[in-house]
Amino acid sequence: MGLRPNLLTRRAAGVASTTFALLLSTAAVGVVPAASAYSAAPDSTSCAEPTDAHADVHSDARVRGGAAKAAHKRHDPNELTAKQVQEREADFAAALRNSTLRSKSSLRTGSTEGQTVALAPISIPVVVHVIQRDSTRAGGNIPDSMINSQISVLNQAYSGATGGAATGFTFQLQKINRVTNASWYPIVQGSSAERSMKTSLRTGGKNTLNMYLGELSDDLLGWATFPKRTLDVMDGVVVLGESLPSGGTATNYNLGDTGTHEVGHWLNLYHTFQGGCSGSGDGVSDTPAEREPAYQCPTGRDTCTAAGKDPITNFMDYTYDSCMYQFTAGQASRMVNAWTVYRAAA
Ligand SMILES: [Zn+2]
């Protein structure tokens, strides 16, 4: 599928150099409300979700093509119930209000999307943990070259170089940490082994992106945690190693956009199909509503009566890597707001 307009440019280009308007008061950055000011944040990333509340939840974070349907019964930390979204959004709005009051900044009061919010350059340190069973490629030994390409793909996607909105985020690789531990391979989502892996390996503050690479359970492409006011040892993104660009073997999903997608969750984006056709959907006004995930790369898909065709080219849908190439301006603002209140202070 060749919908991505700047695919060749994207793959050939280095990190785009983009100038952003600095509209957001620097005073706002780094102001995080005292934890005591709020009730405990909902743990949307809990692996032990009560089954009764989630019986109708769509499947998982990101699964491979045709296998997706079969996996629909699985719960995923990145597909939330309406109640979970409601709780998260209330916390987000409260945190934004508090931040605005404290800083008297230009943060838009109470808006979780806030089109007026600035796209200040924000540099995110990245630590990549390569989980290996042994030193073979089949055992998880993803070369440095692919990891560097993944960082490049992130920088291009978040700069708008692939055709979407510029977000203001850039990614700096700090370290590649290679770990040989057969008991963590494959990485099983929601397992005690995942917790022990992250407890042992996670580094940095809330602003540090910890990315775990490996073979994954259940044919998953990846999963991520959403931001919270307090640092959780589980914080980070897990990505199928073979989804990385420049050599990954995951057919249709090897251009690096599983990484792009999971980092979107880490920066507080929901799926474009969150909430289906009703309600506030994904909480972003410029992503048209979508009844359910799109797979592969459908033409002219339009599953809701509301205006706009399905956002199948958005990084937060489930389409092929070659099909998705953009974030919207609304998503960019939402991520920057979330960064300010949840992740800016290490
Ligand atoms: Zn997802």
2-16 tens-digit pLDDT: 444 444 333 333 333
Residue 78 CA to ligand 1 center (angstroms) comes to 5
Residue 175 has pLDDT above 60, yes or no: yes
Chain center to CA of 121: 18
Residue 120 has pLDDT above 90, yes or no: no
Distance CA(319)–CA(107), nearest Å, equals: 33
Residue 151 CA to ligand 1 center (angstroms) comes to 19
Going by pLDDT thresholds of 50, 70 and 90, the confidence category of residue 78 is confident
Q: Which of 101-105, 140-144, 208-212 is predicted least confidently?
A: 101-105
Q: What is the mean pLDDT of residues 74-84?
A: 72
Chain center to CA of 149: 18
Residue 35 carries which DSSP code? G
Instruction: Decide: 21 and 118 in contact? Cβ < 8 Å.
Output: yes
290 is catalytic: no
What's the burial of 26, exposed, middle or buried (CB within 10 Å: 0-12/13-18/19+)?
A: exposed
- Residue 125, preceding bond cis, omega within 30 degrees? no
Contacts of 311 by beta carbon, 8 Å cutoff, 6+ apart: 272, 287, 288, 290, 317, 328
Residue 223 CA to ligand 1 center (angstroms) comes to 6
340: left (phi over 0), alpha (psi -120 to 50) or beta: alpha
What does the pLDDT read at residue 111? 54
Q: Which of 43-47, 222-226, 251-255, 261-265 is predicted least confidently?
A: 43-47
Distance CA(288)–CA(291), nearest Å, equals: 10
Residue 106 CA to ligand 1 center (angstroms) comes to 30
Residue 253 CA to ligand 1 center (angstroms) comes to 14
What does the pLDDT read at residue 279? 87
Distance CA(212)–CA(238), nearest Å, equals: 5
What does the pLDDT read at residue 265? 97
Average pLDDT of the chain? 80
Give the ranges where 225-300 is alpha helix by DSSP (H). Answer: 257-266
What does the pLDDT read at residue 229? 93
What does the pLDDT read at residue 53? 27
Residue 282 CA to ligand 1 center (angstroms) comes to 12
- The pTM of this model reads 0.80
In this structure, the strands spanning 169-180 and 122-132 are parallel
Q: Which of 35-49, 231-245, 286-300 is predicted least confidently?
A: 35-49
Going by pLDDT thresholds of 50, 70 and 90, the confidence category of residue 76 is low
Tokens at 226, concatenated: 């959403």
Contacts of 301 by beta carbon, 8 Å cutoff, 6+ apart: 294, 309, 310, 312
pLDDT of 122-131, one tens digit each?
999 999 999 9
Candidate list 89, 262, 290, 292, residue with the active-site label: 262
* Residue appearing with tokens 């350059």: 121
- What's the order of all strands across the beta sheet hosting 169-180? 62-63, 220-224, 237-240, 209-214, 122-132, 169-180
Residue 77 CA to ligand 1 center (angstroms) comes to 8
What does the pLDDT read at residue 263? 98
Nearest to 325, CA basis, from 313, 335, 338, 337: 313
pLDDT greater at residue 133 or residue 65: 133
Residue 309 has pLDDT above 70, yes or no: yes
Distance CA(128)–CA(263), nearest Å, equals: 13
